[in-house]
Homo-oligomer: A and B are copies of this chain.
Amino acid sequence: MSERVKIILDEKYIPDRWYNILPDMPEPLAPVINPNTGKPATANDLRPIFPMALIEQEMSQEQYIPIPEDVRQIYKLWRPTPVYRARNLEKVLGTPARIYYKYEGASPAGSHKPNTAVAQAYYNKKAGINRLTTETGAGQWGSALALAGSLLDLEVKVYMVKISYEQKPYRRSMIQAWGATVIPSPSRETNSGRAILAHDPDTTGSLGIAISEAVEEAATRPDTNYALGSVLNHVLLHQTVVGEEAMMAFKELGDYPDVVIGCVGGGSNYAGLAYPFMRERLLNGKETKFIAAEPEACPTLTKGVYAYDYGDTGKMTPIIMMHTLGHTFVPPGIHAGGLRYHGMAPSLSSLVKHGLIEARAYHQNAAFDAAVTFARAEGFVPAPETAHAIKATIDEALKAKELGEEKAILFNFSGHGHFDMAAYDAYFAGNLKDYSYPEEKVREALKYLPKVEV
């Protein structure tokens, strides 16, 4: 009966460097394009909204970037996070597979997001910036940046997608508890917001719109910078502490994952866990399989195109090469708000294109089935986003059972569902809709991809 359930490393084992996958990619990433000039963006183009240290990280070809001691000190509030062996889930499934998960729900904001929020706040503060804007969908990222602002003494303003602002009041309360300002988007405070409202006063908003507003405010106020919660290289970079810690835990366990799984919206939690293991595959030939789980309602990797596109609806951001459903695409209102994004991180998109990561799409009812099975076996109640990763994990574990394979499967428990219980209510009441692939809407949106010649 006495079986090891988890490993939590001492805080001295928090990594002292982030892993940058860019120099190890199968091919270099396509250049980022300045939307105004149509030419490759320079560091200077990004200076109105980002501090130089983050711009350098965005473009760096160094394999490792040191983590400032002040950032590590704050990471100690919740890191290293546990690596769990899901023994109860294994028993329920009757699988010979060993199922592991990295529990990022342990942070004060309840997800992996503070890993980069703290780093971004730190570099901004060091550059003399004391005010940040950002957007948030379901509120995971907005609350993470509010937390970071509170810990590092920066003012934070969050544009929250209007429908979430109204339907998820408790994430909003949490943002306020940490002292940040939060307003519903689209708002009357920006040109982008006013333009959208003029056209459609009753819009429920979208992540793409909220990004436009936050970027616009940062670009037009010298005292203010912008912070993004996913997609960009430096954001994924900061998340690699997740995978590096998992790697150390596996060393202590004397095991190594055969399959590494995560859910993907913009890609940061999955990249954070997967990239250190991808490095071992790319450089040392480790035969790990990588699976990215996304929603059927927003199937960026499985049904989108690999093309140049804007990161936001208002065309404020640079144009990047990625998997996309089109920057004008507004996904159906599924509960996994963090997975409702039209694009995907460029590095992750490229790895999918090269066949190094396999993408799978799931309906939300199937994801909640998996989440409830998990919660009743392992205790922790997952966020709807994380539920997609659990669905893929259970599928893999059942396949291992069928084939009699004793695999090790690792997934990222990217966040808890304490602020998503209304979604569980809807699921139990049978009120969750499974949206079929929005083919027409995507075909329409893809007409508006920018034309870029490099």
Contact = CB atoms under 8 A, between A and B. Distances in A.
Interface of A: 1-6, 8, 10-11, 69-70, 72-73, 76-78, 84, 88, 106-110, 147, 150-151, 169-170, 173-174, 176-179, 372, 375-381, 418-419, 421-422, 424-425, 428
Nearest to A106: B106
11 contacts: A8-B8, A77-B84, A106-B106, A107-B379, A169-B422, A170-B422, A173-B422, A173-B424, A174-B418, A174-B424, A177-B381
A236 to B, nearest CB: 23
A76 B177 contact: no
B108 A380 contact: yes
B147 A72 contact: no
Contacts of A375: 108, 150, 177-178
Given A108-B378, A110-B418, A151-B376, 4 more contacts: A5-B77, A88-B151, A174-B418, A178-B376
Contacts of A178: 375-376
A419 B130 CA distance: 31
| Those 9 A-B pairs whose CB atoms lie nearest each other, nearest first | A108-B379, A173-B421, A5-B76, A170-B421, A418-B418, A150-B376, A108-B380, A8-B8, A1-B69
A109 to B, nearest CB: 8
B11 A381 contact: no
Contacts of A110: 418
A10 B425 CA distance: 36
Given A1-B69, A173-B424, A379 B151 contact: yes
Given A1-B69, A2-B72, A5-B11, A378 B77 contact: yes
